[in-house]
Amino acid sequence: MKINRVKGTYDVLPEESSKWQQLEQAIRDLTKVYDFLEIRTPMMEYSDVFHRENDLSDMVTKETYDFLDRSNRKLTLRPEGTAGVIRSYVEHKLYAEQSLKKVYYIGPNFRYERPQKGRYRQFSQFGIEAIGSSDPMIDAEVIMLSYDFINKLGLKDVKVRLNSLGDKLSREAYQSALKAHFEPHRKTLCSDCQVRIDKNPLRILDCKVDAKHEAVLHAPTPIQYLNESSKAYFDQVIKYLDAADISYELAPRLVRGLDYYSHTVFEVEAKIEGFGAQNVLGGGGRYENLVEELGGPQTPGIGVAFGMERLLMAIEMENPSWFNQHHLDVYIIQFNDALKKEAVKIAHDLRAQGIKTNMNYLNRSFKAQLKEALRFNAKHMIFLGEDEYKKGYVAIKNSETEVQENIKIEEIVSYLSKTIYGEEL
């Protein structure tokens, strides 16, 4: 019986895994510079972490994987990273330190939506959260990190799209204005949006079905309803971005797809030929009440998340040379079975010094071994021949220069260490 992978999932094959590792390393390098520390939370949480009473986003109402465990407890596979991070922040009382917590995460999430190019039901996200400060300067830092990250991937025309939803009072005023605006169009909106008019009209702006409805296209914008303090906050964020020379544009209709956002919301995009209409690679925003909703004290925060699959696809399409080609330092070619024991010893000695080494395990011919060494992009090849071995040496060929030298067996490790690392052991 043939069993295929679950719809909306994928396998990362060995030839592709190094690209994931390079992207993950780029994340770790940049977050280190910005002094963000890694946090790892479970892939499943109690459902209440995500299914909160005031969250009517499509992600929560339509796309979560919910199930009962054997003790009849309601669990959910995480559809996004922020809520789990905040649950951990509250559970471990990290707020007691009364300091700004700057964390990042990399890991899988799950949403039941139609699979399409670059979007899956199991997908990986890189995200950061800065929890504990209401200073617009930290909003600017999160945006700067996001901007720097996409730039470091070698993508073109990176820019930030920026908006503000304002504080609670501004948001309530905007919600009232949206309700009044959409009410005359109730019957022509989709069934979901008809419900949203009463419960959360902001979500109508994020509806995929009514995206081109005239009422949606001409709806009022959040920035029209900002009170003075919210305007001042947003102006400060912009001032800091200007100081850092971050490329941005105001996007008055940007609201993002999660209900816990307030004040700053943003997306980061790049110009990617053939990527489709959506060049958005990540986005996020500020939240004021999420810590409180999950049982902690009122604590502000801001975060951003990027889909790893879309990032990898963007790099492949726009800057494939960013990926380092897989290679070996050394491939050992042995000429007969009697030399396998010596090949194993040489390989082990080289690997002990961190030299990437491989050899023939399939009893292949000399020609086939040579072909495999070239396929593995081996920088050096060791030719372990019977006559040479009896005389106490091997031939080592540099694949780039094609220079071949005879090296004493006891000097192989020292020779290659000097050649590869520039120093002898």
Q: How far is residue 216 from each of residues 59, 60, 188, 219, measured CA to CA in Å?
A: 20, 22, 11, 5
Domain containing residue 43: 14-167+227-322
pLDDT in tens, 315-363: 999 999 999 888 899 999 999 888 999 999 999 999 999 999 999 999 9
Q: In whole angstroms, give the CA distance from residue 268 to residue 88.
A: 27
**Domain presence at residue 120:** yes
Structurally, the chain folds into a number of domains equal to: 2
What is the average pLDDT across 410-418?
Answer: 95
pLDDT number for residue 243: 97
Give ∠ CA 397-398-404 in degrees, rounded to 5. 40
Residues 407 and 415 sit within 8 Å (Cβ to Cβ): yes
pLDDT number for residue 257: 66
CATH number at 59 reads 3.30.930.10
In the 8-state DSSP scheme, what is residue 119? B
H or E stretch including 208?
none
Residues 164 and 265 sit within 8 Å (Cβ to Cβ): yes
H or E stretch including 337?
none
Q: In whole angstroms, give the CA distance from residue 393 to residue 189.
A: 81
Query: Is 80 exceeded by the pLDDT of residue 379?
Result: yes
- Same domain, residue pair 31 and 93: yes
Q: In whole angstroms, give the CA distance from residue 64 to residue 68.
A: 13
CATH number at 381 reads 3.40.50.800
* % the chain with pLDDT above 70: 97
- Same domain, residue pair 311 and 341: no
Q: In whole angstroms, give the CA distance from residue 83 to residue 260.
A: 10
Averaged pLDDT score across all residues of the chain: 92
pLDDT in tens, 9-19: 999 999 899 99
Measured from the Cβ of residue 276, the count of other Cβ atoms closer than 10 Å reads 9
Q: In whole angstroms, give the CA distance from residue 404 to residue 398.
A: 6
pLDDT in tens, 128-172: 999 999 999 999 999 999 999 999 999 989 999 999 999 989 988
Return the half-sphere exposure (C-beta side, CA atoms, 13 A cut-off) of residue 262: 21
Burial of 79 (0-12, 13-18, 19+ CB in 10 A): buried
375-387 per-residue burial string, b: 16 or more CB within 10 A, e: under 16: eeebbbbbbbbee
Among 266, 300, 322, the domain boundary falls at 322
pLDDT number for residue 272: 87
The residue type found at 235 is D
- Same domain, residue pair 158 and 107: yes
* % the chain with pLDDT above 90: 75
Measured from the Cβ of residue 157, the count of other Cβ atoms closer than 10 Å reads 10
Query: Is 60 exceeded by the pLDDT of residue 403?
Result: yes
Residues 301 and 291 sit within 8 Å (Cβ to Cβ): yes
- Name which of 17-31, 81-95, 199-213, 400-414 the model is least confident about: 199-213
Among 269, 304, 322, the domain boundary falls at 322
Query: Is 80 exceeded by the pLDDT of residue 115?
Result: yes
Query: Is 90 exceeded by the pLDDT of residue 201?
Result: no
pLDDT in tens, 255-286: 876 678 889 999 999 988 877 656 899 999 99
**Domain presence at residue 303:** yes
The residue type found at 55 is D
**Domain presence at residue 184:** no
- Same domain, residue pair 335 and 318: no
pLDDT band of 195, cuts 50, 70, 90? confident
Per this entry, what is the length of the chain? 425
Burial of 396 (0-12, 13-18, 19+ CB in 10 A): buried
User: Which pair of tokens denotes residue 243?
Assistant: 């100081």
- Same domain, residue pair 245 and 113: yes
